[in-house]
Chain A
Amino acid sequence: MLDAKAAPLVQVDGLKMYFPIYSGILRRHTGNVKAVDGVSFDIQAGETLGLVGESGCGKSTVGRALLRLYEPTAGAVIIDGENIASLAPEALRKKRPTMQMVFQDPQASLNPRMTLAAIISEPLVEHTSWNAERRLERVYELMDAVGLNRRFANRFPHEFSGGQRQRIGIARALALNPKFIVCDEPIAALDVSIQAQVVNLLEDLQEKLGLTYLFISHDLSMVRHIADRVAVMYLGRIAELSPRDALFERPLHPYAEALLSAVNEPDPSLARRPRIILKGDVPSPARPPKGCNFSTRCPKAFARCHAEKPELQEVEPGRQVACFLYDAKPGSTGTTEAPANLRQEHNQQGEYQ
């Protein structure tokens, strides 16, 4: 930690993103959608952090707030030494080349009235003083890098297939040599046969260019393939953040456990974990439960879970969990026997494997 090289490229601290709700004839501010409600994590340079969770849990919002495509309600996002969340607009604009995003829907993320060349070279116009020739050169370079035929430079996005469009999206993101890229479900809209190609492309590029990814997905197997560490989100908060292998081997948070139980084990020799079916619906982010956000559905919830919100804390080396089951310190509501029991039960589950 003292080593300067080890300083993370991205540091997120207490990030909150609330969307105000207005209602009534006078459009009074009557509440907030707490899409992201206090999220903290780091990403090391060259690392890929996977962000998983059910749809609607706030993954995209995290990604967008991180790049300040939304104005975060609270928190700090330090990327490459600067707090993105509080940069002045002009400074932010200058900073943008460092951080880019690849969107889920490649069709919607490309301006339908611009040609491929115009789309890719637009940031170059804005951020470099290159002439048209030099820019075109760069466009070709990028097209080569993502595997697009140069002949297509003057075509419009709608003339391409989904996979090709996502390549355009990636080429565009790469145009200004970013360090950090948020990939927001980059393959979710693609045919399965093409998904692997795009993921491989992303991996190759990471290797070649030393990129750092926040890889958002609800496809756990894909995350398992690409991520170094994985954060599991539930209702605007991170439930668990662990190294990939550790997480997939032995999820600590009850939600992570439930989520992973639904994944098909790629190795048939290993016995399948019993599937845990969660009861009830995800609460609305406008009215999250009082205690732990997962308390309404958690099979192991106990009194404290309904009263306080657990913070994310390191419970094992490199593993952070937000769950009172792993709370060493005595809680304010007093200890009961429940935690011990549950921990035991949890261990049993580990043994069961």
Chain B
Amino acid sequence: MLTFTLRRLLLAIPTLLVISLVIFLLVDLAPGSPMSEIPLTVPPEVRKKMIEALGADQPVMVRYVLWLRQFFWVEPATLIDGWFGTNWAGGEQRILSWQSRAPVFTVIGQRIPQTLTVIGTAYLVGILIALPIGIYSAYRQYSLFDQLGTLFAMIGFSVPTFFSGTLIIIIFAVTLGWFPTKYDTNLSVTDWPSFVKQLQQMAMPVMTLGLANAAVISRYMRSSMLDNMGMDYVRTARAKGLTERVVVLKHVLRNSMIPVVTVIALGIPSIFGGAIITENLFGVNGIGAALIGAIHASDLPMVQTLAFIFAVLIVTFNLIADVLYGLLDPRIRYD
């Protein structure tokens, strides 16, 4: 397992380098330029100067190599300097956002907490809702509960979050007035009332995303359960005279969880990726909102860095999913 992991990690390095170049070229080739954000009242010469000051007029390969250096050397060095007071980075320029002129990693650092709490909670809530629904739906296949579960999943699948989110806002914020529509980033949880406030402001985005997540995972859970339910070893378990509870929860569920855990692990990068639409809708200043804002403003360094980080996360969690599979399923050995 260890050699497998190491080999995969080594393989990941060239893969990621190629990915980074591809992303860079794609982002660069994508239509649009930071110019389009500048009002027409700014004269062309000034625009040109602004673009030069950003370094956006450099050839793409020069910018790519600079970005590589900044990403793999300057940024880690700056981080280490921050921890130990050393001076590895030597004041070299970090990756700066064209839009805000702030270091991209500072922005990401500011945004990760919101994304993890809100989107992470939504993922967790989604899983917690999905598993029981999936298990029971499969156990009572074609029952009324199963039909309702299917309906729920269909809704979660097919209704886009901008729609369900707006609906949730109209019901819970406008009509009932229970929850705020805009997430307050500066709220720090120090006592019970502020904790309640935090829960209130998380409620709607978590509902919106939780629904979508639960829909997906409950379907996986259900089909995996059904796959296993018909297996002989389940019959064996019944023949052993085990209680239904033990048969379902111990034998069927444990085996059914293997693919579901993998799916859940593979979904984790999307938590970091945030939820572009939901974050934007509820004013959660997470990674997703940063990404969409950066795309709109053609903020290439930001888009490039975020896209690359997602690529790293996806590669990492694929590996984690594989390792988990190996740990959970004794039949699989990577050697």
Contact present between A and B (CB < 8 A): yes
Main secondary structure on A side of the interface with B: mixed
Asked if B255 and A64 make an inter-chain contact with CB atoms under 8 angstroms apart, the answer reads no
Q: Is A213 an interface residue (CB 8 A)?
A: no
Take A27-B142, A126-B246, A156-B331 as given contacts and tell me if A109 and B241 are in contact as well, using a CB distance cutoff of 8 Å.
Answer: no
Bitwise, B210-251 to A at CB < 8 A (1) or not (0) is: 000000000000000000000111011111111110100001
Main secondary structure on B side of the interface with A: helix
Bitwise, A82-104 to B at CB < 8 A (1) or not (0) is: 00000001000111110111011
Q: How far is the CA of A24 from the CA of B51 in the complex (A)?
A: 63
Q: Is B31 an interface residue (CB 8 A)?
A: no
Q: Which residues of A contact B238 (CB under 8 A)?
A: 69
Chain A contact residues (Cβ within 8 angstroms of B): what range? 20 to 34
Q: Which residues of A contact B241 (CB under 8 A)?
A: 93-97, 123, 126-127, 176
Bitwise, B316-331 to A at CB < 8 A (1) or not (0) is: 0000000000001111
Q: How far is the CA of A93 from the CA of B329 in the complex (A)?
A: 29
Asked if A112 and B330 make an inter-chain contact with CB atoms under 8 angstroms apart, the answer reads yes
Take A94-B241, A96-B241 as given contacts and tell me if A110 and B331 are in contact as well, using a CB distance cutoff of 8 Å.
Answer: no
Within the complex, what minimum Cβ distance (angstroms) separates A198 from chain B?
17
Q: How far is the CA of A111 from the CA of B248 in the complex (A)?
A: 12
Asked if A109 and B235 make an inter-chain contact with CB atoms under 8 angstroms apart, the answer reads yes
In A223-247, which residues have CB < 8 Å from any B CB?
none
Q: Is A67 an interface residue (CB 8 A)?
A: yes
Asked if A109 and B233 make an inter-chain contact with CB atoms under 8 angstroms apart, the answer reads yes
Q: Which residues of A contact B239 (CB under 8 A)?
A: 67, 69, 96, 99-101, 173
Q: Is A158 an interface residue (CB 8 A)?
A: yes
Q: How far is the CA of A96 from the CA of B244 in the complex (A)?
A: 13
Which of B240, B251, B254, B331 neighbours the largest number of chain A CB atoms within 10 Å of its CB?
B240
Bitwise, A5-43 to B at CB < 8 A (1) or not (0) is: 000000000000000001000010000000000000000
Quick one: closest B residue to A100, CB to CB?
A: B239
Quick one: closest A residue to B241, CB to CB?
A: A96
Q: Which residues of A contact B240 (CB under 8 A)?
A: 96, 122-123, 126, 172
Q: How far is the CA of A100 from the CA of B236 in the complex (A)?
A: 9
Take A93-B241, A94-B241, A97-B241 as given contacts and tell me if A110 and B236 are in contact as well, using a CB distance cutoff of 8 Å.
Answer: yes
Q: Which residues of A contact B254 (CB under 8 A)?
A: 113
Quick one: closest A residue to B252, CB to CB?
A: A111
Take A27-B142, A111-B255 as given contacts and tell me if A93 and B243 are in contact as well, using a CB distance cutoff of 8 Å.
Answer: yes
Q: Which residues of B contact A104 (CB under 8 A)?
A: 232
Quick one: closest B residue to A112, CB to CB?
A: B331
Asked if B232 and A158 make an inter-chain contact with CB atoms under 8 angstroms apart, the answer reads no
Take A156-B330, A158-B330 as given contacts and tell me if A113 and B255 are in contact as well, using a CB distance cutoff of 8 Å.
Answer: yes
Which of B239, B254, B329 neighbours the largest number of chain A CB atoms within 10 Å of its CB?
B239
Which of A113, A126, A176 neighbours the largest number of chain B CB atoms within 10 Å of its CB?
A113
In B291-335, which residues have CB < 8 Å from any A CB?
328-331
In A181-199, which residues have CB < 8 Å from any B CB?
none
Q: Is A286 an interface residue (CB 8 A)?
A: no
Take A67-B239, A111-B251 as given contacts and tell me if A103 and B331 are in contact as well, using a CB distance cutoff of 8 Å.
Answer: no
* Given A69-B235, A123-B241, A156-B331, 18 more pairs with CB closer than 8 A: A22-B142, A96-B239, A101-B236, A101-B239, A103-B236, A105-B232, A109-B236, A111-B233, A111-B237, A112-B329, A112-B331, A113-B254, A113-B329, A113-B330, A122-B240, A123-B242, A126-B240, A156-B330
List 21 A-B pairs, Cβ < 8 Å. A64-B235, A69-B238, A69-B239, A89-B244, A93-B241, A95-B241, A96-B240, A101-B239, A108-B233, A110-B236, A111-B233, A111-B255, A112-B330, A113-B255, A123-B242, A126-B243, A126-B246, A158-B331, A169-B236, A172-B240, A173-B239
A contact residues vs B (CB 8 Å cutoff): 22, 27, 64, 67, 69, 89, 93-97, 99-101, 103-105, 108-113, 122-123, 126-127, 156, 158, 169, 172-173, 176
